[in-house]
Homo-oligomer: A and B are copies of this chain.
């Protein structure tokens, strides 16, 4: 049974905590040689800046090699449906992609955003699951309908500033954006903040912006397990009040999934969900973060982005450290044990 990193739902809080500890060690000791001779294929079906740079660089800092492939662009388009007659655009099947890459490299990472046509299909996360099912090496999620690497980077940042995170108020706020974006980072923010026992508040304009039941229920359950609260609100002031950490993300309303135009029409009134200094003043001197990329003065004002309390760059940097920790873990290199042995 191969240990993949598809979603943090498959990993315990303890396991994630260990990764974060390892990441802290790697932040101070970036150059290692634990993965000399090892390699990873990075499959990007969508654009990337942080993810690509941090994985390529991280792998090289560990002594290994990263190969970047863009199926449908520089590499052949991939069919993910099983049992299909492949007379469309895709030239090869994920079964072969997984098999071939498994014979070349030691890990495979994939970024595969949803198709934005039918959420009932996309919510199954079938692309990465298909890859993992047919790969004989560990598979890493670089963002599908969740973004577990971002979760680790976020929690590393939260821990750095709040020290103890249990029952601290974590606010996830929806923001405006010209396009209905992926819910992945929002789903992930709920998953990780609740897994670590924070009091989680989800702020969004109306019920259309509630996230998929799967993630709402998981957050609720995980909060309860820690005796923490999970709150959903459409009241901006109440949401920001006394927050210890503010996390912003824009996403598309699931009831309008696949209809970007209708979705845009109904979100128009909600430009006021932008994160600004006035809202941040309501908090308990909260830090603010965002996964990036971020459209300034749409999602958050210049004032917020340029403030000392904005830790989005720190979170981005942490991507490098947590991913290196995770790759080491998947390759069976126990950094902590090795450190203890020193």
In chain B, what residue has the closest Cβ to A92?
A: B293
A50 on interface, CB distance cutoff 8 Å:
yes
Cβ-neighbour of A53 out of B60, B79, B101 (below 8 A): B101
Q: Is there an interface contact between A295 and B56, defined as CB atoms closer than 8 Å?
A: no
Q: Which residues of B contact A48 (CB under 8 A)?
A: 74-76
Nearest chain B CB to A106's CB is how many angstroms away? Answer: 10
Given A97-B49, A100-B50, is A105 in contact with B293 using a C-beta cutoff of 8 Å? Answer: no
Given A47-B74, A49-B75, is A297 in contact with B57 using a C-beta cutoff of 8 Å? Answer: no
Q: Which residues of B contact A237 (CB under 8 A)?
A: none
> When chains A and B are docked, how far (Å) is the Cα of A312 from the Cα of B99?
10
Nearest chain B CB to A142's CB is how many angstroms away? Answer: 13
Cβ-neighbour of A47 out of B52, B76, B294 (below 8 A): B76
> When chains A and B are docked, how far (Å) is the Cα of A53 from the Cα of B65?
11
A12 on interface, CB distance cutoff 8 Å:
no
> When chains A and B are docked, how far (Å) is the Cα of A183 from the Cα of B95?
25
Binary B-proximity of A35-50 (CB < 8 A = 1, otherwise 0): 0010101001001111
Q: Is there an interface contact between B52 and A87, defined as CB atoms closer than 8 Å?
A: no
A130 on interface, CB distance cutoff 8 Å:
no
Q: Which residues of B contact A49 (CB under 8 A)?
A: 69, 71, 75-76, 92, 97, 100
A284-315 with Cβ < 8 A to chain B: 292-298, 302, 305-306, 312-314
Q: Which residues of B contact A313 (CB under 8 A)?
A: 96, 99-100, 103
Binary B-proximity of A54-79 (CB < 8 A = 1, otherwise 0): 10110011000101011101111001
> When chains A and B are docked, how far (Å) is the Cα of A245 from the Cα of B188?
49
Cβ-neighbour of A95 out of B56, B295, B305 (below 8 A): B305
> When chains A and B are docked, how far (Å) is the Cα of A305 from the Cα of B83?
11
Nearest chain B CB to A129's CB is how many angstroms away? Answer: 18
Nearest chain B CB to A314's CB is how many angstroms away? Answer: 8
Q: Is there an interface contact between A69 and B86, defined as CB atoms closer than 8 Å?
A: no
Q: Is there an interface contact between B41 and A53, defined as CB atoms closer than 8 Å?
A: yes
A85 on interface, CB distance cutoff 8 Å:
yes
In chain B, what residue has the closest Cβ to A320?
A: B104
> When chains A and B are docked, how far (Å) is the Cα of A226 from the Cα of B297?
51
**Can you pick out 17 interface pairs between chain A and chain B where the beta carbons lie within 8 Å of each other?**
A30-B37, A39-B60, A47-B74, A49-B92, A54-B104, A56-B67, A57-B67, A57-B105, A85-B297, A87-B295, A92-B292, A92-B293, A92-B294, A93-B296, A93-B305, A96-B294, A100-B313
